[in-house]
Amino acid sequence: MRQIIDTPNQILNSIFLKAARLRELDNYLHEFLDPEVAEHCRVANLDKGQLTIETDSAAWATHLRFQRMELLNRFRTEGKLHGLRSIKHYVRPNALNPAQPPRRQLHLSASSAEQITKSANQIKHKALHDALQRLASNC
């Protein structure tokens, strides 16, 4: 990384410095927020006095909305963003929590499968009968 800063390429240098600044602001954000909230939020941008925070759900965005003024004041004082005018946020599902591992497949015991099959044979509703048969066949 140091090589990027030391090279004369101004574009790469400015991108690297902005990324480092956003990482620093993200660390401040995580210090200011409760840990439960912080794991669902990250600093996405700082542009023209506006800090943009990304959340992974509308519920966390609403939580941030209620804390907006407190965050604004803390960033201005403790985060050294004296010129910060506003904070906005947006929801980007799965941005902070990449694809979840596959769910563990549950297995039925042979006796449970037998009971489900017996129940399915007593049901006249075709869709429910078929669904129970499929369930029983997964043991």
pLDDT at 68: 92
Q: Which domains does the chain have, with CATH numbers?
A: 2-91 (3.30.300), 106-139 (no CATH)
**Residues in the chain, total:** 139
Paired with 53 in beta bridges are: 43, 89
pLDDT reported for residue 128: 87
| pTM of the model as a whole | 0.61
What pLDDT was estimated at residue 123?
87
pLDDT tens sequence for the chain (139 residues): 555 555 567 887 888 899 999 999 999 999 999 999 999 999 999 999 999 999 999 999 999 999 999 999 998 988 778 899 999 999 988 765 555 566 666 677 888 888 989 988 998 888 888 888 888 887 6
